[in-house]
Structure 1
């Protein structure tokens, strides 16, 4: 259990580091997400994600039907404070030198990360670079726009392929963000509410 936790933390930090290097180049290629049709399957009330309580699904992105028809699209949010706690725990476990700790600390994205998971029919459709993620505040002003780096999917089961990645976020004050994930292959967009907590 202890080993699995350590490996999981290492993997997440490594993926976040990779995302930092590619986010800038990817952002320039963003398609126009406003032209994608919003998924018509909505919840009456936004549903909180069971594993990521800061995220609420507005459209039905992660239920069984979405998994079967190849539209499964899940967001999870990891705040900066949570990632800092993980770094501190790793430092305790491995008795890092101050220079190692400072290097890892400097690599943390100031706004935390979004973990994006999609399941699509066929290998060509399951690539995170097909997505554009746009967050707006309550006034409708754009807070950030991201296109994930190319991340091909792996076979998941039946005719589904899954792609997953971590995207570093710019620093944003505590607020509720409306996040729209558009898929250029499906020509569909999925909607979420992400609550950014105050930095502690």
Structure 2
């Protein structure tokens, strides 16, 4: 007949392995668990002059796990210049021009572009964008509205979202985009230019 201590010795390893299995299932695995690599010094973005990449965000990472995430920023002045050019090119009626002009966000707009593997991986509702000032105070936050992307080859899908940004004084801000599905956070530095909206 087994003694209590003998039964306990057989039971404890089962409990230990069960807890290990539960812990492994609850934690993200692979590259996502390690977090993303960061640059020693923030790198200027190739497309948006107002943005610097803190988190490494290259085509190589995209090829590995489809986790490319780019932040862009379009200032009020940039968007106004575009509207003026389109007005001349398309010969808009004054009402069309006024409507387009009124639709420009006073603080410009953030442009989030993501590439993900598979049509379900590019679901924009997985992304939460948080903006903080130099003191660490949150000045803007938004979970992106649901939306999917378009196929762009090799099982990669692309989605974009333009997010109106509030008017703020020129300053340097930290922007983080958290992907709840990948368990990854992409960090950027955004330098706001002087706003020209009235």
Global fold match (TM > 0.5): yes
TM-score range, shorter chain: 0.7 to 0.9
TM-score by length of 1: 0.76
Alignment size in residue pairs = 165
Corresponding position of 2:157: 161
Greater relative contact order structure (CA < 8 Å, 6+ sep):
1
The 2-side partners of 1:194 and 1:64 are apart by 24
Q: Is the 8 A contact 1:120 1:126 kept in 2?
A: yes
Q: Which residue of 2 aligns with 1:22?
A: none
One of 69, 72, 91 as aligned partner of 2:68: 72
Matching residue within 178, 181, 197 for 1:185: 181
| Equivalent residues in 2 for 1:103-118, closer than 5 Å | 103-118=99-114
1:170 to 162, 166, 183: 166
1:133 offset after TM fit, Å? Answer: 0.3
Q: 1:130 aligns with which of 126, 131, 138?
A: 126
Gaps of 5+ in 1: 1-35
Residue number in structure 2 paired with 1:26: none
**How big is the shift at 1:38?**
8.8
Q: CA RMSD in A?
A: 1.8
What 5-or-longer segments of structure 2 have no aligned partner? 1-31
User: What TM-score does the superposition give when structure 2 sets the normalisation length?
Assistant: 0.77
Deviations 1:108-163 (Å, cap 9, x if unpaired)?
11111111111112211111111000000001111111122222122222222221
CA positional deviation for 1:37? 7.6
